[in-house]
Chains A and B, each alone.
Chain A
Amino acid sequence: MVIYGVSFLGACYILGQLVGEFLAKWIGVKANVGGVGFAMLFLILGHDYFNKRNFFSAEAEKGILFWSQMYIPVIVAMSATQNVVVALDSGLLAILAGVIPVFMCFACIPLLVKLTKSPLNN
């Protein structure tokens, strides 16, 4: 049944986010630390585990795939609810401090890719 997949996805989400909340509390940070990341790992590992034991029907997988296809629409809704006005009207400082570090970070990516890729390939 489709609901099994949705339920499994929901369980991974809740578990992962909770781990993120507790991890944050443990290291004394006022934000969720990697909750989504943990949830994704649970989903990947859990799906693999149940799949090997034939617990996961194609029907149940549809329940997860539906939401991954809803991803772009959700992102469209997210961008339509951003505070774009404050971003554009908040003056040069906010715009420069928001844009220039992004370019610096973009510049670091090829470097880091090169640095971290070679030892793995050799």
Chain B
Amino acid sequence: MEIIVNFFEKNGLIVAFVVVGIISYLGFLISKHVLKNKIPGAAVAILLGLIVAYFAGLHTGGSKGIADISILSGMSLLGGSMFRDFAIVSTAMGASFMLIRQTGLAGAISLVLGTTVSFVGGAIIAVFFGYYDAKSIATVGAGACTFIVGPVTGAALQASSEVIALSIATGVVKSIFVTISTPFIAPYIGLNNAHSAMIYGGMMSTTSGVSAGLAATDIKLVPYGALTATFATGMGCLLCPSVFYLILEKIL
């Protein structure tokens, strides 16, 4: 047993290839035979991944989903930000520079609007739950942008660790919710072309949510959405602890 565990840990990345292949296969099987292709196989596979992560988390009590099971620790390498970003960049091969330039301004507007709307939405909910100091409200609002903006803002404003933890959880909920909801909402908001995908990326902010949500909707849209989303965390880290916080302080 120990030999097997050691072997799996040492060859983590290869094990991850095998495991992801199995999850994907199950996802496509379920999509085809149970859901009659109503939900794309990629979406089912991503959802299966989340379900597996939930039960693994319950079992191990860790924070890295299935990767906290030691024989599957390689999953955190394959699913980590390095491979994710590398794969996102590669999808740009099929993207059109013309379309990107045409939508450039709209993308920039969506970045500012997305950060603002998320922050305000998160902040209002924080007030509803009884937070009345600008630091805590700003930190929760920042968490509603992405799970990186939350703790960065909280640390900059010296918010309490409880509130920072809350802002991370908010960002994780958002990322998962964007992933799951995008394929269902896409037809209603016209998310089927490069133009709307770039605006969607800026509005949603969360790179992981956007990249997974678009993968489940239409992989051709991934580069456009990811292109703007990748600026959103920086935008949030820039605006939340400074401009937004100061405005909040003035209001209170």
Show the binding face of A for B, using Cβ within 8 Å. Answer: 9-10, 12-13, 16-17, 20, 23-24, 27, 29-37, 39-41, 43-45, 47-48, 61, 64-65, 67-68, 70-88, 90-102, 104-106, 108-110, 112-113, 116-117, 120
Contacts and interface: CB of A to CB of B under 8 A. Distances in A.
A72 B215 CA distance: 6
Contact of A79 (B49, B88, B95, B234): B49
Interface in B79-133: 79-80, 83-95, 97, 100, 102-103, 105-106, 109-110, 113-114, 117-118, 120-122, 125-126, 129
Nearest to B196: A113
B86 A79 contact: no
B189 A110 contact: yes
Contacts of B203: 105-106, 108-109, 112
Main secondary structure of the interface of A (DSSP, over half): helix
Nearest to B131: A93
B54 A116 contact: no
A89 B106 CA distance: 37
18 contacts: A27-B234, A32-B233, A33-B238, A34-B230, A67-B87, A68-B93, A68-B94, A71-B222, A81-B66, A84-B57, A91-B166, A97-B122, A98-B172, A101-B122, A105-B117, A105-B118, A106-B185, A109-B110
A33 B234 contact: yes
Nearest to A100: B121
Nearest to A39: B89
Interface stretch (B3-11, B20-28, B244-252): B20-28
Nearest to B236: A31
B227 A48 contact: no
B78 interface: yes
Contact of B166 (A39, A44, A70, A94): A94
Contacts of A48: 97
A99 B118 CA distance: 10
B-side interface size class: 35 or more
Contacts of B155: 30
Given A82-B50, A112-B203, A73 B152 contact: no
Contacts of A83: 53, 57, 63-65, 172
Most buried by B among A34, A85, A91, A98: A98
Contact of A84 (B176, B211, B219): B176
A71 B80 CA distance: 12
Given A33-B231, A72-B24, A72-B45, A85 B54 contact: yes
B63 A98 contact: no
A81 B175 CA distance: 13
